[in-house]
Amino acid sequence: MADAQSTTPSAAAAPLVRTQGLTRVFTSRGSLLGRQRSLTAVSDVDLDIPRGQVTGVVGESGCGKSTLARLVLRLLDASSGTVSFDGTDLAGVSASGLRALRRRMQMVFQDPYSSIDPRYSVRDAVLEPLQVQGVRLQAADRRDKVESLMAMVGLNPALADSFPHQLSGGQKQRVGIARALALQPEFLVLDEPTASLDVSIQAQIIALLEELQRDLGLTYLFISHDLGLVRYFCNRIVVMYLGRVVEILPEPLATVRHPYTRALMDSTFEPDPRRRRVVTLLRGEIPDAFKLPAGCAYAARCPRASARCESERPLLIDAPAATAGHRLACHHPLEP
């Protein structure tokens, strides 16, 4: 990935994807007689996704990372703000234009087979994106396409006629990746692609994704709850908490400044007993997303919180005394 990391100035100047003020509000009725409630799943997110790099978005349930993934591909419409892909504002694109763009941007889901007909064989599943896009192939070309895609993701082509229930979790995820690659996209959004897998299989899939990224020069947006994995896999890390970006690390090993990122770091289980750490037991839990506080959403759990944090929301600004590109939303950041 050394090549991917050395960005040329022009590539850095023109990210493949850019979001500005991206916001998504969901409304729901609390109960039968309850009044309508609204939840801001993603709030005012400005994000650049550089070409040929892996950008990681990390956070826990309810932080908005999966909603962000869907907004970026316009699988969901934004309530406000914009997403542009290679300079094109996705909101202004017609349905047919969007379909054409979708060839260039694809998604890998946590459980690929919850979105695929269980009666589809591996062959059918891998070819479906081509059919949706109206790509017509001769029988021989179809066979070649299936075989080359399966080989690319490390699946034995003999499995082409297998059905989902005959595959292991890792094999299903390889099919999900093969589907995403069928149209030769430039940009993949990976939404927790290994969250439901054993660690041994997770490592296989991550190794495969690394290889594909390097060989095909892909741009990834990698969504995960696992900061240890994100620090290994990603070039840049975006940390989200309850719908907002709280910190952006310009490089994976940058010194963490936000207390929440620190808590995430302390929660990773490093496989080294010489580096045991004692987790500080907290009383607070993640607050209800329907009842967000006026100030910093993390204040209720934060050991550094002051009265100011409860009333005044910190804005995302350049972190003081840090590498360029290090952004931070905290009134009382950790020392560099």
Partner 1 sequence: MLLLEVRDLSVTIGPLQPLDRIAFTLDKGSILGLVGESGSGKSLTAMALMGLLPLIGGRVSQGSVRFAGTELVGLEETRYRALRGRRIALITQNPMTSLDPMLRVGAQIDQVGMLHRGLTAAAARQRSIELLDQLRIPDATTVHGQYPHQMSGGMKQRVVIAMALAGDPELIIADEPTTALDVTIQAQIIQLLVDLVRQRGLALVLITHDMGVVAQACDGVVVLYAGRVAESNSVDAVFAAPAHPYTQALIACIPRSGQASGSLRGIPGIVPSVAGYSSGCRYHPRCSLAQARCQTEAPTLQARGSHRVACHFAGTQGSPNG
Footprint of partner 1 on this chain (CB under 8 A)?
1, 60-61, 168, 170, 198-207, 210-211, 214, 225-229, 231-233, 253, 263-264, 266-274, 276-279, 281-286
Q: Which is nearer to partner 1, 183 or 203 (CB)?
A: 203
- Given a contact cutoff of 8 angstroms between Cβ atoms, the answer to whether 157 and 147 are in contact is yes
Strand runs (DSSP E) across 152-264, as ranges?
Answer: 187-191, 219-224, 236-241, 244-249
- Tell me which residue of 119, 26, 98, 62 sits closest to 244, measured CA to CA: 62
Q: Which helix (H) or strand (E) holds 39?
A: strand 36-49
Q: Which is nearer to partner 1, 23 or 213 (CB)?
A: 213
Q: Which helix (H) or strand (E) holds 81?
A: strand 80-85
For residue 330, give Cα distances in angstroms to 228, 246, 305: 22, 7, 9
Q: Which is nearer to partner 1, 71 or 197 (CB)?
A: 197
In angstroms, give the least distance from the CB of 313 to partner 1. Answer: 21
Q: Which is nearer to partner 1, 131 or 268 (CB)?
A: 268
Measure the CA angle with vertex 225, ends 18 and 4; round to 5°: 50
Spatial distance between the Cα atoms of 62 and 75, rounded to a whole number of angstroms: 18
Spatial distance between the Cα atoms of 111 and 171, rounded to a whole number of angstroms: 11
Q: Which amino acid is at 286?
A: I
Q: Which is nearer to partner 1, 27 or 280 (CB)?
A: 280
Q: Which is nearer to partner 1, 116 or 227 (CB)?
A: 227
In angstroms, give the least distance from the CB of 185 to partner 1. Answer: 21
What's the gap between Cα 80 and its chain centre? 20
**Helix (H/G/I), strand (E/B), else coil: 247:** strand
